[in-house]
Amino acid sequence: MPARAGSCAGCIPHGTWSPKQNVTRKRPAGTCRALPGPRTLRGIPVTDEHNDQPASTHDTASGTERDRMGIAPHAKADSDLIIVGIGASAGGLEALKELIAELPHSDRLSYVVAQHLSPTHNSLLMELLTPGAPIAVRDLTDGQVPAAETIYVAPANYHVEYTDGRLRLLRPQGGVGPKPSVDQMLRSLADNHGENTIAIILSGTGSDGAIGVRSVKAAGGIVLVQDPTSAKYDGMPRSSINTGCADRVQRPPEMGQILENIANSPNALRMQTVNDDDRTGGLERVTRLLKRATGMDLSNYKRATVNRRVQRRMNIHKVTELDAYASLLQRDKSEPAHLARDLLISVTEFFRDRESFDALNEALGELVARRSSDEVIRVWIPACATGEEPYSIAMMLAEHIRQRRDAPEFLIFASDIETDGLASARMGAYSEPALVNVGEELRKRYFTREGNLWVINKSLRQSIVFATQNVIDDPPFRRMDLISCRNLLIYFENKVQKRVLELFRYSLNHNGLLFLGKSESIELHADLYQPILRRARLFRKQNAIQGYALPIAARPGGQPALPSRTSRPCPATAAAAPAVPG
């Protein structure tokens, strides 16, 4: 269990969420929050979600410069334009030349290159890429409206963000991390251009781009990654492949044909739906094949979501009929996993949605204060993805426990159906950009720097059990004090949402807490929970309700066993094992 010795002035150190570091997917890219006045919750700084002003530290082009560049004051990129964000580092020049030489002529494609460059030298990248390029290559200037058949090259010592239909150049606010940041560029494209975004990751050391490709994939865009065997340095390609978000892994010259196929397909990246008039039974066959290969049952998910994701995979493969795609699923053993990931992909961060975590932190402080040293606080986190959320909650609990000599211990069960994400979560190793919301005090206390990665300390990892579990079909964990299930319910049909919420209520202790995502609601099932802070999506179990049984049936042959722990055993494990139906 985490060490209890020592004390601190606040529940979470003030540095946990420094205003300079704060980055969330909801705010417009290219802006920093300007605080109207100090506002805190139990010692944690809180920002105003609606006060988004350009940061004074962002050195951007003046209006006069934009006039000189011929940029109309209110011009924006065409919403149908596909913007291709290309990230590269060491060895990237060779890969970029190979890629650019094969780019297609298309009035639907525009390109932005973020190549890591020395901040102290003038870049000659544009001059080096221009020979042999079939389309225009230009140095990127602040406020540029992306145009088709043009490659924009980011300058040294600037970050690139896309907002309001323009590409903006921002001066870095700190000395740490690569410049320009591939993650920052891709996240802003995903946030503000959505499904009409393509990410390409080329040769480079480190892991820059791995966070950005998750954002692009979650927004409905497409991710292409250089085959590591063809990369001079394979760190960036392998890191992006390890996220499970790569739609294609190819050599750079082969990517041009893929881009041409996408550009030539009507509404290639649009999230249109397949034909609901499934006369040939193609979607039923797809559903059956996917369940057989991955265990995922598409009938539990919203039909519109399923249709869009299936259509997206069909577009990538230039398949026009559901029957043909079903045959592809059967023939290509990797395709079921790709489709499943498309349905499951989510953006996760440490302490994502600050106000919500502030409210949770206060509730956890009260929970710790009520418990004695011989008790164990139990937490279940379904859909834990790559582990940022479990570790965030573990750090908050550990911080509260540090302040008490007779504090309880805690045990977190983090589960997911996606095994690749669970493997990353168990490792607990994260890149510098992933820790943007983690302050210096928490980094020092709970992480160890190993090369380019920050690794969760063993003492904190041992407080978490990671397990493969399908929250819909498998027996739940029981006697939980908190269930944190964020941004999963939104994908389920209403009847499945209700069943899962009933299951959570069954699993919670008296007055147990439920923590949901900002886009999720319990309005249709308000009889199950009462709000603690509705805007933070924090709820408490309704204790007075009678007659709710466990809303799943036992599987033939009994319940699945809890996967074995990779860390030291804990006496709380047996008491928190999956419930036995009936």
pLDDT in tens, 156-199: 889 999 999 999 999 887 666 788 999 999 999 998 998 899 99
Q: Are residues 288 and 180 in the same domain?
A: no
Q: Are residues 310 and 237 in the same domain?
A: no
Indicate the pTM of the whole model: 0.68
Query: Quick one: DSSP state of residue 258?
Result: H
Q: Are residues 446 and 428 in the same domain?
A: yes
Q: Are residues 289 and 221 in the same domain?
A: no
Asked whether residue 24 is domain-assigned, the answer is: no
Taking residue 226's Cβ as centre, other Cβ atoms within 10 Å add up to 32
Rounded Cα distance between 420 and 345, Å, is 12
Q: Are residues 445 and 559 in the same domain?
A: yes
Considering only CA atoms, which of 392, 286, 381, 394 is closest in space to residue 343? 286
Query: Which domain, by its residues, includes 323?
Result: 282-344
pLDDT of residue 302: 86
Domain boundary at 301, 325, 344, which?
344
Rounded Cα distance between 451 and 467, Å, is 28
Considering only CA atoms, which of 397, 379, 460 is closest in space to residue 425? 460
Domain count, the chain: 3
Domain boundary at 264, 295, 313, which?
264
Rounded Cα distance between 468 and 33, Å, is 38
Q: Classify the C-alpha dihedral 78-82-88-93 as positive or negative.
A: negative
Q: Is 507 helix (H, G, I), strand (E, B) or coil?
A: helix
Rounded Cα distance between 120 and 123, Å, is 9
DSSP secondary structure string, 451-465?
Answer: TTEEEE-HHHHTTEE
Rounded to the nearest angstrom, the gap between the alpha carbon of residue 96 and the centroid of all alpha carbons in its chain is 27
Q: Are residues 260 and 312 in the same domain?
A: no
Asked whether residue 405 is domain-assigned, the answer is: yes
pLDDT of residue 434: 82
Side chain identity, residue 324: A
Asked whether residue 491 is domain-assigned, the answer is: yes
Is the bond preceding 390 in cis, omega lying within 30 degrees of 0? no
pLDDT of residue 551: 54
Per-residue pLDDT 10s for the chain (582 aa) are 444 333 333 333 333 333 233 333 333 333 333 323 333 333 333 333 333 333 333 344 444 344 334 444 445 567 789 999 999 999 999 999 999 999 999 999 999 999 998 877 667 888 889 898 999 999 999 999 999 999 999 998 899 999 999 999 998 876 667 889 999 999 999 989 988 999 999 999 988 998 899 889 888 889 999 999 999 999 999 989 887 788 889 999 999 999 998 888 755 444 444 554 454 578 888 999 999 988 888 888 888 888 888 888 887 787 888 889 999 999 998 899 888 888 877 678 899 888 899 999 999 999 999 999 999 999 999 999 889 999 999 999 999 999 888 889 999 999 998 888 888 899 999 887 788 889 999 999 999 998 878 999 999 999 999 999 989 888 899 999 999 999 888 888 888 999 999 999 999 999 999 999 888 888 777 888 999 988 899 999 987 655 455 555 444 444 443 333 333 333 333 334 444 333
Query: Quick one: DSSP state of residue 343?
Result: H
Q: Are residues 436 and 537 in the same domain?
A: yes
Asked whether residue 26 is domain-assigned, the answer is: no
Q: Which two tokens stand for residue 487?
A: 């941004």
Asked whether residue 53 is domain-assigned, the answer is: no
Q: Are residues 492 and 386 in the same domain?
A: yes
Q: Are residues 296 and 251 in the same domain?
A: no
Identify the H or E element spanning 225.
strand 222-226
Side chain identity, residue 523: E
Q: Are residues 466 and 520 in the same domain?
A: yes
The CATH code of the domain that includes 508 is 3.40.50.150
Asked whether residue 502 is domain-assigned, the answer is: yes
The CATH code of the domain that includes 115 is 3.40.50.180
User: C-alpha angle 551/561/459, rounded to 5°?
Assistant: 105
pLDDT of residue 45: 31
Q: Are residues 564 and 515 in the same domain?
A: yes
Q: Are residues 336 and 362 in the same domain?
A: no
Asked whether residue 213 is domain-assigned, the answer is: yes
Rounded Cα distance between 99 and 228, Å, is 15
Query: Quick one: DSSP state of residue 314?
Result: H
Asked whether residue 2 is domain-assigned, the answer is: no
Domain boundary at 325, 344, 363, which?
344
Q: Which two tokens stand for residue 281?
A: 């039974």
Considering only CA atoms, which of 183, 149, 143, 148 is closest in space to residue 60? 143
